[in-house]
A and B are shown apart, each in its own frame.
Chain A
């Protein structure tokens, strides 16, 4: 790095100012920050609905009306899935980091990148409209014939999801091209940081699966307007066909949510234990194979839908196959930690939290993938707890991990470790208090999506509600911790964690076009064992 390139120079945050300079920016870093802020705002809205749901379930007797309760869980699910979880890591951290990690000046299509963001805002506008008009009550899954004939404000919600799909497709397209074509000299595929491998697989899924939800939603809208009869049994169609359409996208999309989370963890687990990642090739390969096999298992959401038993058995069998690459990853991360010089800092706390949470989420998927046990567990709180452990716990913990890990790079400020570590422990305990009781209640037969329930479930539901309120509180603490750093935090050095990937080689915060000179990739991103990092940085 040039000596003059370090201090008192304009960076991407202060190069220009004003609302317009942000809103019309094509800089991937600014877009990443704007995505992050928008996504977190919608997380707040989606989270409020979650709190409403948990408030309703505090006791067995109903407080909300059934229809209001239906709206609350639908809005919680739809906002969380379409507006938060799908773009959560790719659009925010992905946008910010991909060109930096590649040693490129921007993504391959910066204007398209901006367009994706504006499309995202447009789609979000439809969701807000849905809210203003009084909500929607079909469940985020929009199952027919209820959604095609009845339900409230289905059209605005469908339009929102349809539009957001395009944002997701274009982002994926951009990232695939960027990762293929814009790697720094010397950065071979085997020197690609694992976060980028994860983003690459994610982007492929976004390109190949998202159009199917687009066409599904179009058909559903036409079904509602014209009664075309493809999904409506009363007109001669098949509601189970709708579920095939829906899950052909919506199963792969859970990997759009979780693969980037795997990517974040692959980075933090190795940097903060000062050890080369265990099984680099295995993790990269398992990332791709999860993406590929993820397309073959959608029918496990439909075991009790009227799908044929034969097809159910096939789907069940393939679903077990997904467990293999996932287990390879978890084992590799744990092997990376083994005998490492672990830093017990905030980032590591969330990383460990992720490992615990995701492992539980993954393992509880197996009884759900088994045809016979799924008959008992289907549509109970067991399923709810399972997908919260994977989707919400997994993704959110990884997002927070990533936010803390790259916070110095993004903002130029260090956060308080003293507050960060206890908050992480608090969040972890509250999280488990929320969802472990749901496993117990679910396996005892508590059904999901009911606004009142039998008294024997009251204990577990109350524990879960209390846990969720505490978890909400802990997230506000995280937010406070991060915002506090902006005001009171120390100035961050360029490479606070002694990382080796290229994003740490540029200034903190990065300059407008990332690098003064084209960086050249000489060592792999995880070769901590072989090279003394401090010396290497000093030698530059």
Chain B
């Protein structure tokens, strides 16, 4: 090993020349990761667009029948936006921690931990509300695809398992109506998003733990920033999911 690395700080990896290079690499890596996240979700939105294009009336009818709870979706949006704010503030605190340990670094680190815990807590609130929404849907039977069994808006399933469309009150089948597909989309999209929230809670708590161990300062906080970016992306996706699923009739 050459001696130039001897005086490097423990968090400065030997294969980077400067902390600047290390930090900007970590950030670029995170943006590349976010790019792939966007493309991953694009598939779900693609399915939404195509199904909506075909079954436009179904989407309107879901709205008219009030099958998704707007208040719950609305509160969840507020919760997630607030958690995004606390996360942004947490990143700010991390930026303010002086490199040389002193009273001020302790103060900012304590704030950082508090804000991270708030973020994780709000994420859990989001998940609890989601749980109530899901359990209601499981109860009434507005479930995805072949599991769909909502009595007030039934679909006709042939003996071969084919779902032909919704059954109208007059006893006819409407092949242009597909509530079972709407709920497939609902569960797949919110489920995937929810999974991202769960993972988010995990990594935010991991950050809090590391902060408690005294890690992070204004020079070394790429992990906090990157988890922040991830969390804002989760928020950003919900900003689109909420109106597309709950509001747009």
Contacts and interface: CB of A to CB of B under 8 A. Distances in A.
A18 interface: no
B178 A236 contact: yes
Contact of A108 (B1, B25, B46, B165): B25
B15 A229 contact: no
A243 B163 CA distance: 22
Interface string A103-115: 0111011101000
Contacts of B51: 230, 237
B29 A226 contact: no
Interface string B73-96: 000000000000000000000000
B186 to A, nearest CB: 10
A177 B36 CA distance: 14
Given A106-B15, A108-B25, A229 B181 contact: yes
Contacts of A215: 40-44
Interface in B174-230: 178, 180-181, 184-185, 187-188, 192
Given A104-B15, A211-B36, A245 B43 contact: yes
Given A110-B15, A176-B32, A513-B14, A235 B39 contact: no
A229 B50 CA distance: 12
B39 A208 contact: yes
Contacts of B14: 105, 513
A177 B25 contact: yes
Contact of A222 (B24, B36, B188): B188
A216 B37 CA distance: 14
Interface in B160-179: 160-163, 165, 178
Contact of B15 (A174, A226, A238, A513): A513
B28 A210 contact: no
Contacts of B46: 241, 244-245
B181 A237 contact: yes
B33 interface: yes
B47 A181 contact: no
A209 B188 contact: no
B50 A241 contact: yes
A517 interface: yes
A236 B180 contact: yes
A79 interface: no
B28 A181 contact: yes
Contacts of B192: 218
Interface residues of A, number: 46
A219 interface: yes
A517 B2 CA distance: 8
Nearest to B48: A230
Interface string A220-246: 001100111110001111100100110
A223 B184 CA distance: 9
Contact of B145 (A110, A180, A210, A229): A229
A533 interface: no
B2 to A, nearest CB: 6
B45 to A, nearest CB: 10
Nearest to A105: B15
B2 A516 contact: yes
A169 interface: yes
A244 B50 CA distance: 11
Interface string A448-462: 000000000000000
A237 B47 CA distance: 10
Interface in A78-132: 104-106, 108-110, 112
Contact of A177 (B29, B145, B161): B29
Given A110-B15, A229-B163, A230-B51, A208 B145 contact: no
A173 interface: yes
A105 B146 CA distance: 55
Interface in B1-45: 1-2, 14-17, 21, 24-25, 28-29, 32-33, 35-37, 39-44
Given A228-B181, A235-B180, A245-B46, A177 B144 contact: no
A235 B162 contact: yes
Given A227-B145, A241-B50, A219 B188 contact: yes
Given A173-B32, A182-B25, 15 more contacts: A108-B15, A177-B32, A180-B28, A211-B36, A212-B43, A215-B42, A215-B44, A218-B192, A226-B146, A227-B146, A228-B181, A228-B187, A229-B178, A234-B161, A235-B162
7 smallest A-B Cβ distances: which pairs? Answer: A215-B43, A227-B146, A228-B184, A211-B40, A105-B15, A228-B145, A211-B39
21 contacts: A104-B15, A105-B14, A105-B15, A169-B36, A173-B36, A176-B32, A177-B25, A181-B21, A182-B25, A208-B39, A210-B36, A211-B36, A215-B41, A215-B42, A219-B43, A226-B144, A228-B181, A229-B178, A230-B181, A236-B178, A517-B2
